[in-house]
Chains A and B, each alone.
Chain A
Amino acid sequence: MPAEFDPAAKFAEYAHPERLVSTDWLAEHLGEPGLVVVESDEDVLLYETGHIPGAVKIDWHTELNDPVVRDYVNGEQFAALVGSKGIARDTTVVIYGDKNNWWAAYALWVFTLFGHEDVRLLDGGRDLWIAEGRPITTEPPQVTPVEYPVVERDDSVVRAFKEDVLEHLGKPLIDVRSPEEYTGERTSAPAYPEEGALRAGHIPTAASVPWARAAAGDGTFKTRAELDSIYRDEVGLSDGDEVIAYCRIGERSSHTWFVLQYLLGFENVRNYDGSWTEWGSAVRVPIVTGADRGEPPAG
């Protein structure tokens, strides 16, 4: 049975309020049976410096990625991973992390690939919890491993591959990287070639909306009205649009994916996790440099 939803008024404005919980809600529900709290950070050691009492850690890099192929873990690996963290198929999972929930959103997106139904983000993440003076501990949680069913990963709904993006050209694309990455300006000295992509710029027609614009100063998501003003009024997205978001490796764009899908209610949003590290090294894919979005390639 899912934990009760957070009735906060701010969340009620969003398309899917059930995808967020507030720090107040979490403080009240911590330790309830059927709820597992997961910390997922950019920094692999941050959890060890102190975490929400009882929270388990999932590291995006060493646990959610396949160690050999550039892909996510498969159904068996995912089942073994989350089962070992005490997460059952019907567990309510609340994920939080550093940097405006950047990596937490990425972990949530991976849970979504496996169709885990009740997975939510802690609005404001790790920083807000700590800023509010709430308890953290270095005490490892007591975890009882459970059986999680092997569920095949479904890449067809919220994940886009390079071929999908090529077919998609002409429909809305959101580039969530920094403006310098978008324009193709080099940010490092010539003696230090940027690793990971051979060419710089953006995918033609992509709108530049750095991911963190969706976050308020305290790391919480901006209000519905503020987000509408960015993504609908400024970018021009409208109901029914199919949207693909990308960044460098698909992590920052998971945050934007979450915003578009769950907070603004777009029903067909995909994250292109190959992102610039694939596109910027692929042969003969179109690239635009500079601040203009550019046109879709003819034909």
Chain B
Amino acid sequence: MVVMDATTLPAALAETRDDFLALDVRDRLQLLLEFANELPDLPERYADHPELLERVVECQSPVYMFVEVVDGLVHLHATAPAESPTTRGFASILAQGVEGLTVDEVLDIPDDYPQSLGLNEAVSPLRVRGMTGMLARAKRQLRDHVAA
């Protein structure tokens, strides 16, 4: 198990974690819903190129994501249907959390970050696994990008 501390967790993700943990279990769902509502639409250049998007099969709902690196900085794009707010919430947390980080910073995010948000009780461990899958795929895409 990876031990998380402030030196490896980017500030935005640490703040999100603290926000969740400050709430009781019921209100954590509401915060997740806020994240879901904040997930931006795909940039138009990807809307026309579905082949660039990778299906996250760990999620029960159809969610597709794509990580791009522009001038050394990471941007994560994801799309999931409105009927899947939990999945949208997970994608939104990660998209906001990695926005503008360097590749190395994203690769250093602990793999078990999703387990640290206190969502296991509110959402269930099985569902949280979907976010773990998204993070793993984002990192793999970045490793491929670095290797290319």
Contact = CB atoms under 8 A, between A and B. Distances in A.
Contacts of A187: 57
Contacts of B127: 44, 61
Nearest to B87: A43
Given A43-B85, A62-B122, A48 B29 contact: yes
Interface string B31-48: 011001000000000000
B33 A48 contact: yes
Main secondary structure of the interface of B (DSSP, over half): helix
B29 A61 contact: no
A62 B120 CA distance: 9
Contacts of B122: 44, 62
Nearest to B123: A44
Given A61-B124, A61-B126, A62-B122, A44 B29 contact: yes
Interface in A92-114: 98
Contacts of B121: 62
A62 B84 CA distance: 17
B123 A62 contact: yes
B84 A43 contact: yes
Given A49-B33, A62-B123, A44 B86 contact: yes
Given A44-B123, A44-B124, A195-B129, A98 B30 contact: no
Contacts of A45: 29, 32-33, 36, 85-86, 89
Contacts of B30: 48
A105 B127 CA distance: 20
Interface residues of B, number: 25
Nearest to B125: A61
A44 B60 CA distance: 12
Contacts of A49: 33, 82, 85
B127 to A, nearest CB: 6
Interface in B57-92: 57-58, 60-61, 82-87, 89
A142 interface: no
A46 B129 CA distance: 18
A30 B122 CA distance: 29
A45 B123 CA distance: 8
Nearest to A126: B83
Contact of B85 (A48, A59, A61, A192): A48
A108 B123 CA distance: 21
B119 to A, nearest CB: 10
A42 B61 contact: yes
Contacts of B85: 43, 45-46, 48-49
Contacts of A48: 29-30, 33, 85
Contacts of A46: 83-86
Nearest to B140: A191
Interface centre among A45, A49, A98, A195 (most CB of B within 10 A): A45
B95 to A, nearest CB: 17
A49 B87 CA distance: 13
Nearest to A130: B83
A49 B83 CA distance: 9
Given A43-B61, A62-B122, A98-B83, 12 more contacts: A42-B61, A43-B86, A45-B33, A46-B85, A48-B33, A48-B85, A49-B82, A61-B124, A62-B124, A187-B57, A195-B58, A195-B129
6 contacts: A43-B61, A43-B83, A45-B85, A45-B86, A62-B123, A188-B57
